[in-house]
């Protein structure tokens, strides 16, 4: 199975698993479940995400140093978390949920690190296997636990067990074919940490921002309202994030390869082409999600979440689009240049915007969603301004305007369908019509070379980096 197909299946599976867990837990316990996982993700990013980023940027040659680093950081995180962090967290969660959140951070950090190593070796089959087995275990353990017990504690334990089970099932494959490299080096570890630290700090600021907003809703309006907000945020983030990751795992590796083989100018050109592709795919996807919102809520959202789901989903989508554009289109400008400090400045700007908006908006849950979106939009503006000062190449105006006009035409044509009776038939008509309208315009003008890429996909040819053909397909 190709990597893009595996990622598409993974995105669909995550979407369905999240909805089923929400259905079986209900708004209140789903609020606890989502908040516990959000805590785990914050810990994971703070402790382990630099290792994943280093594996993606520097390849399998860094493995011995990164393996040792992961073991040390896991031990430190466990000791500090159990002794200091968990008792000191001012969150309305039980110690059991917080302990599982810490364990989830370690296991998910290891899972993401192993995936990055697999991608660095271009082992597409193993990469797909890890994703699919994780989803299979999660469907059984996480959804099954939520269904049988209705407990957030059991559901979080299922998340941990699913990732651990996927890694255990592929243990031999993950270790086979790995040749011993240089022994672990503190100097290399510090080099990798310096490269990744600004990226990690920026991601951490955004995650803490989202966590604090969820906690604020739980404190002011209760766990049930936090669960309503969390389902809309998590579903939107999973869709936009999955689309971004599907592009990143291919496009960023192209830029890294160009940097190593042809030099910095070639890599900057590739990053510019990548920006256009991310824009051309994420913009219509997010506008399309808003257009199908009523039918998506009717079909996908559990009964107890309907009404608030569409409201929060609509308020959060623009912010999620801005965050995805920043992470997958603009941030690679700094990553490929190994000059990632500006990412922190943009994230600090987003935090400041969130605080300012919360101070002036009415004290209700919808205002917190608006503040979340406003902060991510301001973060993107800051990142773009900082990137303008960097030695970067940019997409052509044509590659930015054509997707924008095509998305506008799609929205104008499909907007009347939002008033149709929500349901499966309406959803299918909207999706098919949207694909036809947007696809026809983009294909006619061949924006971002998408016509050539689509033809490659339709012929079921998986381009290979080692032959150079994939890079040429994105150039055309």
> Are 220 and 157 part of one and the same domain?
no
- Tell me which of 46 and 255 has the higher pLDDT: 46
Residues 240 and 109 in one domain: no
Please check whether residue 424 lies inside any domain of the structure: yes
In a domain, 310, yes or no: yes
CA dist., res. 133 & res. 475, Å (int): 35
What domain range includes position 159?
Answer: 1-184
Q: pLDDT tens digits for 37-84?
A: 888 888 888 889 888 888 877 766 778 888 899 999 888 888 776 665
Q: Are residues 175 and 256 in the same domain?
A: no
**C-alpha dihedral sign at 293, 299, 301, 303:** positive
Residues 365 and 426 in one domain: yes
Q: Examine the domain organization and report whether 59 and 208 are in the same domain.
A: no
Q: Quickly state the pLDDT bin for 160 (edges 50, 70, 90).
A: very high
Same domain, yes or no, for 108 and 85?
yes
Q: Which of 292, 153, 313 is nearest to 230 (CA)?
A: 313
Residue 27 pLDDT greater than 90, yes or no: no
Indicate the DSSP class of residue 230.
H
pLDDT category at 28 given cuts 50, 70, 90 is confident
Which residue did the predictor score with more confidence, 225 or 455? 225
In a domain? residue 189: no
Q: 245 vs 452, which has greater pLDDT?
A: 245
Q: Do 180 and 201 share a domain, yes or no?
A: no
Task: Report the predicted TM-score, pTM, of the whole model to 2 decimal places.
Answer: 0.76
Pick from 150, 184, 218: which residue ends a domain? Answer: 184
Q: Which residues of 188-202 are buried (b: 16+ CB within 10 A; e: fewer)?
A: bbebbeebbbbbbbb
Task: Quickly list H helices, 263-341.
Answer: 264-291, 293-300, 308-325, 331-336
Is the same domain home to 284 and 157? Answer: no
Looking at the structure, tell me whether residues 178 and 200 fall in a common domain.
Answer: no
Q: How many domains does the chain have?
A: 2
Find where tokens 């600004």 sit: 198
Residue 242 lies inside a defined structural domain of this protein: yes
Decide if pLDDT at 318 tops 90. yes
Domain boundary residue, one of 154, 184, 214: 184
Sequence-separated (6 or more) residues with CB below 8 Å from residue 93: 32, 35, 36, 39, 101
Domain shared by 88 and 161, yes or no: yes
- Looking at the structure, tell me whether residues 23 and 115 fall in a common domain: yes
> Pick from 158, 184, 210: which residue ends a domain?
184
Is residue 410's pLDDT more than 60?
A: yes
CA dihedral for 287, 246, 302, 300, sign (positive or negative)? positive
* Residue 306 to residues 151, 317, 440, Cα–Cα distance (Å): 21, 17, 34
């Amino acid at each position: 199975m190709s990597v893009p197909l595996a990622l598409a299946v993974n995105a669909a599976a995550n979407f369905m698993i999240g909805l089923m867990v929400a259905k079986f837990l209900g708004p209140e316990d789903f609020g606890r479940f989502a908040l516990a996982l959000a805590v785990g993700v914050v810990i994971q990013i703070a402790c382990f995400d630099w290792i994943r980023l280093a594996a993606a940027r520097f390849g399998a040659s860094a493995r011995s140093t990164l393996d040792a680093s992961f073991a040390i950081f896991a031990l430190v995180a466990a000791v500090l978390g159990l002794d200091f962090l968990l008792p000191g967290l001012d969150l309305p969660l039980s110690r059991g949920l917080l302990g599982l959140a810490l364990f989830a951070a370690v296991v998910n950090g290891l899972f993401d690190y192993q995936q990055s190593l697999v991608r660095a070796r271009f082992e597409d089959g193993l990469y797909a296997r890890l994703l699919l087995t994780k989803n299979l275990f999660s469907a059984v353990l996480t959804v099954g636990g939520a269904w049988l017990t209705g407990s957030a504690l059991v559901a979080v334990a299922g998340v941990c067990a699913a990732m651990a089970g996927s890694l255990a099932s592929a243990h031999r494959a993950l270790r086979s074919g790995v040749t011993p490299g240089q022994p672990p080096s503190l100097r290399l570890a510090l080099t990798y940490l310096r490269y990744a630290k600004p990226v990690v700090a920026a991601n951490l600021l955004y995650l803490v921002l989202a966590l604090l907003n969820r906690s604020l809703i739980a404190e002011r309006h209760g766990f049930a309202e936090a669960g309503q907000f969390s389902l809309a945020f998590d579903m939107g983030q999973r869709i936009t994030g999955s689309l971004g990751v599907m592009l990143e795992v291919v496009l960023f590796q192209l830029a890294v390869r160009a940097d190593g083989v042809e030099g910095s100018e070639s890599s900057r050109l590739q990053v510019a082409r990548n920006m256009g592709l991310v824009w051309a795919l994420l913009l219509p996807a997010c506008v399309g999600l808003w257009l199908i919102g009523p039918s998506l809520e009717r079909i996908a959202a559990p009964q107890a979440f309907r009404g608030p789901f569409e409201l929060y989903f609509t308020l959060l989508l623009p912010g999620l689009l801005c965050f995805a554009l920043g992470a997958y289109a603009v941030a690679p400008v700094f990553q490929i240049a190994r000059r990632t400090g500006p990412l922190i400045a943009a994230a600090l700007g987003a935090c400041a915007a969130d605080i300012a908006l919360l101070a002036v908006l009415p004290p209700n849950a919808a205002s917190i969603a608006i503040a979340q979106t406003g902060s991510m939009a301001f973060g993107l503006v800051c990142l773009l301004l900082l990137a303008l000062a960097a030695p970067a190449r940019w997409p052509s105006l044509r590659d930015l305007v054509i997707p924008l006009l095509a998305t506008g035409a799609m929205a104008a044509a499909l907007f009347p369908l939002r008033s149709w009776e929500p349901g499966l038939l309406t959803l299918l008509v909207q999706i098919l019509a949207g694909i036809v309208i947007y696809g026809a315009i983009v294909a006619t003008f061949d924006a971002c070379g998408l016509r050539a890429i689509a033809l490659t996909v339709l012929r079921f040819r998986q381009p290979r980096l080692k032959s150079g053909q994939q890079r040429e397909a994105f150039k055309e």
